[in-house]
Amino acid sequence: MSEHRLPEPDRPWVMRTYAGHSSARESNELYRRNLEKGQTGLSVAFDLPTQTGYDPDHELARGEVGKVGVSIAHKGDMQTLLGGIPLDQMNTSMTINATAAWLLGLYMAVAEENGVDPGRLQGTTQNDIIKEFLSRGTYAFPPAPSMRLIRDMIAFTVDAVPKWNPINVCSYHLQEAGATPVQEIAYSLSTAQAVLDEVRSRVPEDTFPRVFGRISFFVNAGIRFVEEHAKLRALGELWEQLGRERYGVEDPRYLRLRYGVQVNSLGLTESQPENNVIRIVLEALAVTLGRNARARAIQLPAWNEALGLPRPWDQQWSLRIQQILAYETDLLEYPDIFEGSKVMKGLVEELVEGARAEMAVVAEHGGAVEAVDYMKTQLVESHRARIAAIESGEQKVIGQNAFTSTEPSPLREGEDAGIMTVDPGVERAQIEAVETWRSERDAAAVAAALEELTTAARDDSVNVMPATLAAARAGATTGEWAAALREVFGEYRAPTGVSGAAAAPDGAALAELREKVERVSTALGRRIKILVGKPGLDGHSNGAEQIAVRARDAGMDVVYEGIRLSPARIAQAAVQEGVHVVGLSILSGSHRELIPTVLHQLDEAGANVPVVVGGIIPPADEIALLEAGVARVYTPKDFEISRIMGDVVDLVADRYGVAAEAA
């Protein structure tokens, strides 16, 4: 046997595609086609109402039903979603957090109905609420009860569904929010530690090593793929140490870092989008190259994510990247190819050291839950620095700020302009379907189950999973489950992190912008005031945060309320705050429904202010929005924030009839 070859090539990782849209039926068809193409696991994308605990007919669900994922309102939907898929053999990953306990309940209820013992189910519920507070925004309850739900799920599954990963601690979304590799490691490990500390007192001591072993991670890999690989090795090293030193885990099976991955979307560009395929391949190498830190499961984004929703063909292309890596290349034939590398060792040491120091800061704040404010501020700051580097050209992005001359891309020439659009009729159909469901079920049984759930939620010493499972079996809806818990737990708004962001370094461009803001403000009589708003349920707030911070640095008064605002609330804020301009950000694809509603509400409220919109907005939609009365539309290709700001000041000057330029 040789030292540089494995006796047998390794088995490939689990290959998934993050997929789901519209209804359970359409998503089920998509899943079955994907499995036929050689996908080996499922990764379910839920729509935002399902993720935040609202039924399709709730006011806040408007425009979001079936958009970024599938709408699952009850066990009937779940049954349809999984139709024809053998649950005892499938490995299903669900990107679900605030409502994770509920979706697991539905999954188990469906398994029971199909005659599958829940004890045999395999898969993952994402269930990392801290990164929802920090980055992704689909939280529903305040921190303490959210942590309790996670704790209850872990304590429940460790025996009832022993092959289930009840939580997938996410560094993925931290990178999407701008985290450096050190921050990614430190914040995700701090999160895991907070969760483990919470669970430790709730399970028997001899069960705890198994609990530790069930914690998995969901990571990101960016374009600096050598350092990114080192990051995963560093994470593995620190994870093992944490297990040994803090929790006394000794069994190597439980100490090994297990992670799944979705590679970076933040760096994917709207300009020359074909280049994204190359980026995705390189990022896939970061998580597969070295055997000692190779991913257990991989899903890759599609080349056109910065343009709109990917089509099945786009996702197939990404699956083929995985299959070529696993089946055509010789990647799986060798032991770890970085063992003995001085460079890799040095990189890992650097990251381990940096992450330890940052974890100590989080610990000083009282741990990950208490440090949400601190971590959020750090992330906003890192993201600000990243954007500044791209704006200045210091960080090169090919096709966007370097080598920008290009031939027209044939990939976007099709009738669909290279993206998928969800049929707006889906929402209507889902609303009717949930109404029918409610009218046909045993109402008394549902009421009793929800009552039981409320009782369990009120008592911190009771595990909410059994009552959740009973409510799932009885036919309760996603919105009903969450409403019962909201009643007991209350609601919450996460910190926006913007007020602590450092001011942008002074530069000529910013100085010029400030002068212009001063000039226009003086002419207006008071400082330019802007409302930055995120309508709908979309929690991806990074863009809105950066706009808010830059507007402040440019000298404006900025009202930023964070995510999840109803159009009525945005209109009210615009009027009461007396703003000169409203900026809206939407990335969930619900702009065609929500933006006109905001415009209408502003009209009703008598606010005659210009509205600008930013987000992933395809050209055809841009035209429609401008026709509906939006003053400006910005998309990912407009990466120079100072230029956007200058444009907004010109718009304000023009609308209020004052001069923008010095006389």
Partner 1 sequence: MAVDGATLGRRLRERDTAAAPAALNLIEDRSPAGREQAAALLGEVSPGALGGEAPAHLIGVTGPPGAGKSSLLSALVDLWRGRDRTVAVLAVDPSSKRSGGSLLGDRARIDHDPADDGILIRSTAAGTRLGGLAPPTREATQALAAAFDLVVVETVGVGQSETDVEDVSDTVAVVVQPGSGDTLQFLKAGIMEVPDVLVVTKADQGGTALRARRDLAGALGALGCPETPVLAVSSLPPPTGVEELVEALEAHRSRLDVRAVRLRARRMAALADFTAEHGERALRALGGRRAAEAYLADQDPTLDASALGGRLEQRARSSA
The rounded radius of gyration (Å) of the Cα atoms in the chain is 25
Strand, helix or coil at 309? strand
Dihedral pair phi/psi, residue 121, rounded to 5°: -70, 140
C-beta closer to partner 1: residue 223 or 554: 554
- Within 8 A by CB and 6+ apart from 249, the residues are 208, 209, 212, 213, 243, 255
Closest distance of CB 588 from partner 1, Å: 19
Determine how many CB atoms are found less than 10 A away from the CB of residue 587: 21
Any contact of residue 573 with partner 1 (CB under 8 A)? yes
Any contact of residue 499 with partner 1 (CB under 8 A)? yes
* Per-residue binder mask for partner 1 (CB under 8 A), 365-404, x = binder: --------x-------------------------------
Q: Are 301 and 279 in contact (CB under 8 A)?
A: no
Closest CA to 66 of 582, 524, 420, 522: 420
Which of 29, 112, 350, 518 is in the footprint of partner 1 by CB under 8 A?
A: 518
Pick the piece of the chain touching partner 1 (CB under 8 A) from 2-10, 332-340, 443-451, 483-491: 483-491
Dihedral pair phi/psi, residue 484, rounded to 5°: -60, -40
Any contact of residue 424 with partner 1 (CB under 8 A)? no
Closest distance of CB 513 from partner 1, Å: 9
Nearest-angstrom CA–CA distance, 559 and 355: 34
Which of 333, 442, 526, 628 is in the footprint of partner 1 by CB under 8 A?
A: 526
Nearest-angstrom CA–CA distance, 214 and 164: 7
Which of 572, 622, 624, 660 is in the footprint of partner 1 by CB under 8 A?
A: 572
Q: Which of residues 542-571 bind partner 1 (CB under 8 A)?
A: 548-549, 551-562, 566, 568-569, 571
Any contact of residue 464 with partner 1 (CB under 8 A)? no
β partners of residue 582: 531, 611
Number of residues that bind partner 1 (CB under 8 A): 44
- Pair type for strands 168-170 and 216-219: parallel
Which of 389, 390, 656, 660 is in the footprint of partner 1 by CB under 8 A?
A: 656
Any contact of residue 139 with partner 1 (CB under 8 A)? no
Any contact of residue 488 with partner 1 (CB under 8 A)? yes
Pick the piece of the chain touching partner 1 (CB under 8 A) from 163-171, 250-258, 411-419, 514-522: 514-522
Closest distance of CB 610 from partner 1, Å: 15
Q: Give the DSSP per-residue string, 608-651.
A: ---EEEEES--HHHHHHHHHHT-SEEE-TT---HHHHHHHHHHH
Note the helical H segments in 161-274. 172-176, 181-200, 208-214, 225-241, 252-255
Q: Are 54 and 478 in contact (CB under 8 A)?
A: yes
Buried b (16+ CB within 10 A) or exposed e, 421-450: ebeeebbebbbebbeebbeebeeeebeebb
Closest distance of CB 578 from partner 1, Å: 4
Q: Three-state SS string across 552-616, please?
A: HHCCCEEEECCCCECHHHHHHHHHHHCCCEEEEEECCCCHHHHHHHHHHHHHHCCCCCCEEEEEC
Geometric angle at alpha carbon 643, from 639 and 647, rounded to 5°:
125
Closest distance of CB 612 from partner 1, Å: 17
Pick the piece of the chain touching partner 1 (CB under 8 A) from 36-44, 312-320, 437-445, 517-525: 517-525
Strand, helix or coil at 51? helix
Active site residues: 18, 172-173, 534, 538, 540
Which of 185, 498, 630, 652 is in the footprint of partner 1 by CB under 8 A?
A: 498
C-beta closer to partner 1: residue 41 or 533: 533
Closest distance of CB 482 from partner 1, Å: 15
Closest distance of CB 478 from partner 1, Å: 21
Pick the piece of the chain touching partner 1 (CB under 8 A) from 10-18, 59-67, 421-429, 485-493: 485-493
C-beta closer to partner 1: residue 161 or 648: 648
Any contact of residue 646 with partner 1 (CB under 8 A)? no
Any contact of residue 356 with partner 1 (CB under 8 A)? no
Residues lying near partner 1 in the complex (CB under 8 A) are found at 142, 373, 487-490, 493, 496, 498-499, 503, 514, 517-518, 522, 524-527, 548-549, 551-562, 566, 568-569, 571-573, 575-578, 656
